[in-house]
A and B are shown apart, each in its own frame.
Chain A
Amino acid sequence: MHPGIIFFLVILGSVLFHIFTPWYWTDIASNWGGMDDTITLTFWIGGGVFIAVCLFMIYCVLKFSYKKDRKVEYKPEDKKLEKILTWATTIGVAALLAPGLIIWNQYVSVPKNALEIDVMAWQWGWQYRLPGEDGKLGTTQVININDDNPFGINLDDPYGQDDVLIQSDLINLETNQPVKILLRSVDVLHNWYVPQFRAKMDAVPGIVTYYWFEPNKIGEYEVLCAEYCGIGHYAMRGGVEVQSSIDYKKWLSEQETFKELIAKQQKIEFGNKKIVKNNNFLLNKEIYKEE
């Protein structure tokens, strides 16, 4: 078979694969549909260029294959053609860049009504903290973290006392309520990522990073760690349940605040009992078993 034909079949196969692929976006469940649209646009423009370049190449290969007496063009440069191609490419690139930057501007501009959620990551698990009735999260410090104060909340910060603590890797969100995810890590890099929400950002020890999204589809989703964080990276999963307003409020009212946690711990200590921190140590055990 002529190589040009094989190359043609490769390009044709790529296009057919793209059209009929069963593997494509997971259904979106947040406000970031614009990202998907920009990708579709990039597929059209970029894919068009890919197909055009390859077909032109294939045509040349089929048409100009070696003949001893073929007349070959001697034309080292063509200023006009080069100019046209440069400008056409520039326009194409600008057309792709513009929507990308517009959406990025939305991504870094958090809406005022967004609910702040503190997502705390460690090797290898998650836990969450929501603001209490005052609507504000208390400040934290890594060195404050101990069994009595699993989030490292500054004890003298009045905003911290009513914070809602969720010592689990599962969290619930209210549908159509924008959330600002505040990420922090106590050890290494992590990344709180739900494919259906499209958004992600690294959690970096030493600083607080953020991103925002608005979940808009009721359901349960898996959280994945998307930044390599050591041997347990692949197992660092969590969960999100997006609920209707009523269900969410009910769930929220059942959660414990920092004040309540302190009170409970004191009670237990009076009874001379030790507290076992409810971290996800099961996960660690699974991992170390393999060694």
Chain B
Amino acid sequence: MSDEYENKTGYQAQSSETISSGSGGGSRTASDIDYVRPAEVTDQDLYHGHSFITKWVFCQDAKVIGVQYFLLATFTGVVGLILSWLMRLQLGFPGAAGFMTAEHYYQFVTMHGMIMVVYFLTALFLGGFGNYLIPLMVGARDMVFPYLNMVSFWSFFVAVGVLLASFFVPGGPTGAGWTLYPPQTILEGTPGSGWGILLMCISLILFVAGFTMGGLNYLITVLQARTRGMTLMRMPLTVWGIFTATVLAMLAFPALLVGALMMTLDNVLGTSFFMPTIIQAGEILEYSGGSPILFQHLFWFFGHPEVYIVALPAFGIVSDLISVHSRKNIFGYRMMVWAIVGIGGLSFFVWAHHMYVSGMNPWFGFFFATTTLIIAIPTAMKVYNWIITLWRGNIRLNVVMLWCLGFIVTFVNGGITGIFLGNVSIDVPLSDTYFVVAHFHMVMGIAPLMVIMGAVYHWFPLVAGRFLNETLGKWHFWLTFLGAYSIYFPMHYLGFIGVPRRYFEMYDSPYMTSAVGMNEFISMAAFIVGAAQFILIFNIIKTLKTGKSAGSNPWKANSLEWLTPSVPPEHGNWGDKLPVVHRWPYDFNVPGAKEDFITQTTPPSDVVGTEVEKT
């Protein structure tokens, strides 16, 4: 879109004026206006699997790896879901489950949190959608390092195995809370303080190692393996979102890695990185001089970018879904790109807003409140652009669009409550209460989940060649959206009452007794929302073989992933010839065009007489 960029690359752009067929302009021919710079490197050689094992298990095809990531992340997500049911059972109906002790409750809280944030959302967005979509969307044959990509998935597999193994070791999984704050994490008095936390740290280290392999692939594929004509400013926002999130992950995960390593050393070798002098049960422990707050800084230096590692791919994907299904270009594409990049950059300067009442120097509060509220501005711009995209569009109210609308409602809701919590002095009464729980579930649980679901319904016809059932999809959407909203919207008000989070039991404090009814209601809604997710699993199984055949480009989208010679795309993606890109992916309803979409590979000579934007 930028003139400057085109000048630098020497790329000859189509004009923003009406393209003339050569009659008015004189000497220009079709081959002139269709010119795209030749490729700089030769085509990628791919390893083709021969046996079942090399094709489907230790597979090097990014699409299969994407599906593998998707399935494994979904499996751990279901584990996380079941844990949340058990927690809600205790909170809504204390004592209803006989086996539920405080110890188990805290273990479930911890595992639910860690699974959902890291092993479900991160793995699903980057490992799942990233692997499947990046090569297809930028017009590459595969990731640039397919073997490394395969190792990345299997590291994730082992990481999940180690994580789940902690349910079966003596003492059970760690119950330290997903933030793993020392000193309690490795002291008796916290469930799983021996084996549980050790396995958690090992699992995280494996995850980070595996993720780094995948992440390098995503970055280098986007930077180096784009097809001819695919300039950075012609990439779909999905790729921009995943790309920027991966940059964040590359910079943020090392902080988690060293935090986990140092904690393991404190735990196993008795070092004192995070451990000051401590008396427990009347005995002085052999630690001294460490700083518990240091861990919190390391954790949140990872933890806050992590929020955007989940959010940015969601932003990107939802932009594309909204654009395709409202048959209109995304509004303010350049603003959207810069907002993604800007949010990504700013996200490294806001981490201590999780620590306003942690006991760090309170003067930090001024700085981090300011940076946190600044980040609201590009985020708000994205929201405006999504809804302006709907304006004067031609909106298909299908299941995909419903998920997008659900995303907008839940994301704006959760974003606004984020302004409460980011604004340092308001955070004081609300931090560590259910307001926080409601806020982050709404903004980084439900909202990204809405996008994941929309993406599943959108891209399933590409992956499987068949549509998911629309009626089941609508049931799935409304149960999930209405249910989740009625879980988390009222939950904010528990925070106003002052109900602290991570309480196994509320007892009968006077201001808490009024919350009993609400807790029961929330638990009932949680059971329904959880159960509704199995509609999707049923839908997938049902339509995988019998669903309506999708054919090629069923949504009439413009981006490259829909333009493969075969559906579903085969290994190598593009048959003999790589696609050549002539425009951005948002040319919907261009004035003068015959159809309401112009694919990225359509050369200008095919759409003579249209008023396409110069991209």
Contacts and interface: CB of A to CB of B under 8 A. Distances in A.
Interface of A: 3, 6-7, 10-11, 14, 17, 21-26, 32, 34-36, 38-39, 42, 46-47, 49-50, 53-54, 56-57, 60-61, 64-67, 70, 72-78, 81-82, 85-86, 89-90, 93, 96-97, 100-101, 103-105, 107-108, 122-123, 142-143, 145, 183, 186-189, 191, 193, 195-196, 198-207, 209, 211, 222, 224-235, 237, 287, 290-291
A232 B189 contact: yes
Contacts, number: 324
Contacts of B280: 123, 187
Contact of B102 (A50, A145, A290): A290
Interface string B409-426: 100110011011001111
A74 B328 CA distance: 7
Given A74-B590, A234-B504, A142 B278 contact: yes
A85 B428 CA distance: 30
Nearest to A225: B500
A196 B511 CA distance: 10
B498 interface: yes
A234 B503 contact: yes
A279 B387 CA distance: 59
B37 interface: no
Contact of B292 (A17, A60, A204): A204
Contacts of A47: 416
Contacts of A108: 362-363, 365
Nearest to B505: A234
Interface in B391-413: 391-397, 402, 405, 408-409, 412-413
Contacts of B591: 74
Nearest to B392: A73
Contact of B429 (A17, A35, A105, A229): A35
B19 to A, nearest CB: 15
Nearest to A197: B429
Nearest to A222: B509
B331 A228 contact: no
Interface string B174-187: 01110001011001
Nearest to A77: B332
A188 B387 contact: no
B20 interface: no
Given A26-B498, A73-B328, A107-B362, A10 B381 contact: no
B327 A230 contact: no
A42 B423 contact: yes
B326 A64 contact: yes
A200 B432 contact: yes
A10 B191 CA distance: 40
A83 to B, nearest CB: 10
A189 B416 contact: no
Interface stretch (B21-29, B60-68, B121-129, B489-497): B489-497
Contact of B395 (A49, A60, A77): A60
- 3 tightest A-B contacts by CB? A195-B498, A206-B276, A100-B423
Nearest to A287: B102
Contacts of A53: 383-384, 387, 408, 412
B546 to A, nearest CB: 26
B355 to A, nearest CB: 9
B359 A60 contact: no
Contact of A66 (B176, B334, B394): B394
Contacts of B515: 23
B394 A72 contact: yes
B432 A198 contact: no
Interface of B: 101-103, 106, 175-177, 181, 183-184, 187, 189-191, 276-280, 284, 289-293, 326-329, 331-335, 357-359, 362-363, 365-366, 369-370, 373-374, 376-377, 380-381, 383-384, 387-388, 390-397, 402, 405, 408-409, 412-413, 416-417, 419-420, 423-426, 428-433, 478, 482, 485, 489-490, 493-494, 496-498, 500, 502-507, 509-511, 514-515, 518, 586, 588-591, 596, 611, 613
A230 B176 CA distance: 7
A290 B177 CA distance: 20
Contact of B359 (A22, A36, A81, A183): A183
A124 B362 CA distance: 26
Given A32-B429, A57-B390, A183-B359, A22 B424 contact: no
A23 B494 contact: yes
B489 A74 contact: no
B184 A189 contact: yes
Contacts of A93: 373-374, 376-377, 419
B611 A74 contact: yes
Given A66-B395, A201-B357, A7 B405 contact: yes
A77 B389 CA distance: 10
A64 B395 contact: yes
A10 to B, nearest CB: 6
B390 A26 contact: no
A226 B369 CA distance: 21
B279 A145 contact: yes
A180 B390 CA distance: 53
A193 B432 contact: yes
A85 B357 contact: no
A201 B357 CA distance: 5
Given A35-B428, A231-B189, A97 B423 contact: yes
Given A101-B369, A101-B424, A186-B279, A230 B497 contact: no
Contact of A73 (B292, B370, B374, B391): B391
A81 B430 CA distance: 35
Nearest to B280: A187
16 contacts: A6-B478, A17-B489, A36-B429, A53-B408, A61-B390, A64-B395, A66-B394, A72-B327, A73-B393, A77-B332, A183-B359, A188-B189, A224-B498, A226-B433, A230-B190, A231-B189
B429 to A, nearest CB: 4
A142 B280 CA distance: 11
A211 B356 CA distance: 12
A189 B292 contact: yes
Contacts of A195: 429, 497-498, 511
Given A26-B511, A224-B500, A291-B103, A100 B369 contact: yes
Contacts of A237: 507, 509
Contacts of B514: 22-23
A35 B291 CA distance: 30
A229 B507 CA distance: 18
B478 A50 contact: no
B408 A82 contact: no
A89 to B, nearest CB: 5
Contacts of A200: 357, 428-429, 431-432
A54 B503 CA distance: 34
A50 B412 contact: yes
Contact of B409 (A10, A21, A32): A10
A231 B408 contact: no
Contacts of B289: 206
B332 A24 contact: no
A188 B357 contact: no
Contacts of A123: 184, 189, 280
A226 B428 contact: no
Given A76-B586, A77-B331, A199 B377 contact: no
A57 B391 CA distance: 8
Contacts of A187: 183-184, 187, 189, 278-280
Given A74-B591, A188-B184, 5 more contacts: A6-B482, A38-B423, A39-B420, A72-B596, A200-B431
B101 A290 contact: yes
Contact of B387 (A56, A222, A227): A56
A24 B387 CA distance: 32
A202 B216 CA distance: 39
